[in-house]
Chains A and B, each alone.
Chain A
Amino acid sequence: MSENNGGGKSDIIVLSKVGKSFWRGKERLDVLKELDLTMKEGSFEALMGPSGSGKSTLLNLIAGLDVPTSGSLKVAGSELSHMTEGDRAGFRAANIGFVFQTYNLMPVLTAVENVELPLLLTKLPAAERRKRAEVALKVVGLEGRMGHYPRQLSGGQEQRVTIARAIVTDPKIIVADEPTGDLDRESANDILNLLGKLNKEFNKTIVMVTHDPAAAERATVCHRLDKGALAL
């Protein structure tokens, strides 16, 4: 994992007049409207807003899970607007780490196997994959739980495993969708501290959707969305 060397802060996420529309029957829903937004490498940014404001849609676009209807979206040097699904899958594997609200670990795999999962897409030998997964679990403080299955872990521990899975490929960007939404305050603080550590010590750019003001306070920048546009 590359540590923060304190270098210059270049733009890692650039949205220019990004629009995203969905169709519900014959009705067109403009979820994002000509959005202009820039995020710096190594920043920790929160996206807040009421339900339906477009924050999750924006997160999906930044993560390369979806493509904008209009405008330009550049993430980690790649223009995502016109990428094929296959290319975006490769982009995500190389550049994005995901942290979900409900953890989404595979119940049949142990903690270390869950963390190793994204490395199956690489050409690394099995021993190296396992070694990297173990390192990632040490980073999140779960070196003692490597052989545990998700059902044997607490919610906070499961979310740590998710974070380890997100960082094991050493991505530039971590997207977190309500990472503390299912946790008690103490566990939530632990997770936020961990995300802060990844941001500060490992220079990971973190984009986090949250409803929790306490979580948003940890971010260096907080964007508020309302009806598909950035609120001033």
Chain B
Amino acid sequence: MTLTSIAARNIGRNKLRTGLTVAVVAIATLFFIMLRTVVWSWSSAEEFAKKDRIATRHKISFVMQLPKRYAEEIAQMPGVSAVSYNTWFGGKDPKDEKDFFATIATDPPGLLKVYSEIKAPEDQKQAWLADRRGALIGDALAKRKHWKVGDKITLAGSIYPGNWDFNVSGIYTTTTTNVDRSTVWFHWDYMNESLPERRKDMVGWIVTNINDASASGSISKAVDAKFDDRDLQTVTMSEAALSHSFLGMFATILKAINVVSIVMIAIMGLIVGNTIAMGVRERTNEYGVLRAIGFLPKHIAQFVLGEAVVIGVVGGGVGLVLGYPFVNYGVGRFIEENMGQYFPQFRVQPELAAFAFGLAVLLALVAAILPARQAANLQVVDSLRRVG
């Protein structure tokens, strides 16, 4: 029997209250892990992005388009090995319009060169290249929508109105997580030929492979310089930076997530502190007796802090045990499959798990400091006066 073991047993005295407090710590830890994983995954997208791939968009905004000929001009520049151009189509499944997935009009031969991570059986690739209505579909999306090669699908255009029919030419997968597996890629020509004259021959962004990754900065500058005196100027950046600019609004949300995760943990601390304070209040007489028989204020503080540590350890542990599989095998898989471009690896990092656990214990400890001080500073005679 030790002071710490007694403290641990003390928290079992009000099982409902302790259980609820542990649940709060566990839930806070779980959500902290998940939210921080969102932030980490987003921030680490650059790490997973291809270093020899740069992207060019309109200087003012992603939603403004560039002439397709810019891609042809970039392809002629020194140091460039392949070019592809893309336009965000914004198609939806008419049967389930709330189900979001990316639909991108592209230059198929260029895409397969620029995105070497995209893998599909050769016959499916050839079928896609040959069919102007062909679509190459990510395996995660195909699985979700039960689409298979040979199917005819219809997408409703939101940016380009109307019902658009496609033939599923191939199902692709990827060799890395930085290209999402829930995109419908289709022929830019198919879209372009259907557009009114004033909207024709424009592309959303241009993706360029370069021979030397270390030259990405200078080539980006050269691309922008090339179009600097044109009507439509460009901004060229790394692939990761492009993703960030594409989801600029999301970056603000991520900042909010950061704040929410901190506020949530702070609330957890207050709840633990309140629970500990209630326990101290109820046990004032016991602390008085302990002081009477010779225990020092530091021992009383040890009792109180010990209880808080046990709550933090149990709650943090439960949060980890629940959070790890929830993120890594649940929500993480879904995000990697469907938003791999922006969250290439959505997994709980061991450092984050250790940090979250340590934070739960530390905050429980910090929350108990005030009640512990109050308990330790109780006057023995006053405490005993409350007896009975």
Contacts and interface: CB of A to CB of B under 8 A. Distances in A.
Contact of A65 (B13, B285, B292, B297): B292
Q: Is the interface of B mostly helix, strand, loop or mixed?
A: helix
Contacts, number: 63
B267 interface: no
Interface stretch (B4-12, B197-205, B328-336): B4-12
A116 B6 contact: no
20 contacts: A60-B381, A63-B292, A66-B381, A85-B297, A89-B295, A92-B294, A93-B293, A98-B293, A102-B285, A102-B388, A104-B288, A104-B289, A108-B10, A109-B1, A109-B6, A109-B9, A118-B293, A120-B3, A129-B1, A165-B293
A104 B380 contact: no
Interface in B10-58: 10, 12-13
Nearest to A117: B293
B296 interface: yes
Given A101-B388, A102-B387, A108-B9, A86 B296 contact: yes
Contacts of A158: none
A44 interface: no
Contacts of A129: 1
Interface residues of B, number: 25
A65 B1 contact: no
A118 B292 CA distance: 10
A107 B292 contact: no
A113 interface: yes
Given A65-B380, A108-B13, A92 B293 contact: yes
Given A92-B293, A98-B292, 16 more contacts: A65-B384, A66-B381, A89-B291, A92-B292, A98-B293, A100-B289, A100-B384, A102-B387, A104-B289, A109-B6, A113-B1, A118-B294, A121-B294, A121-B295, A129-B1, A182-B388
A92 B297 CA distance: 14
A52 interface: no
Interface string A88-101: 01101110001011
A126 interface: yes
Given A98-B289, A104-B387, A90 B294 contact: yes
Contacts of B9: 108-109
A89 B297 CA distance: 10
B296 to A, nearest CB: 5
B131 interface: no
Interface of B: 1-3, 6, 9-10, 12-13, 285-286, 288-297, 380-381, 384, 387-388
Given A90-B294, A100-B387, A108-B6, A65 B381 contact: yes
A92 B381 CA distance: 13
A106 B6 contact: yes
Nearest to B293: A118
Nearest to A90: B294
B282 to A, nearest CB: 11
A120 B384 contact: no
Interface of A: 60, 63, 65-66, 85-86, 89-90, 92-94, 98, 100-102, 104, 106-109, 113, 116-118, 120-121, 126, 129, 165, 182
A129 to B, nearest CB: 8
A109 B2 CA distance: 11
Contacts of B286: 104, 106
Contacts of B285: 102, 104
A93 B294 contact: yes
Contacts of A104: 285-286, 288-289, 387
Contacts of A65: 292, 380-381, 384
A189 to B, nearest CB: 21
Contacts of B293: 92-93, 98, 117-118, 165
Nearest to B3: A120
Contacts of B3: 120
Contact of B1 (A85, A100, A116): A116
A89 B296 contact: yes
A120 B13 contact: no
B1, B10, B13, B286 interface centre (most CB from chain A within 10 Å) = B1
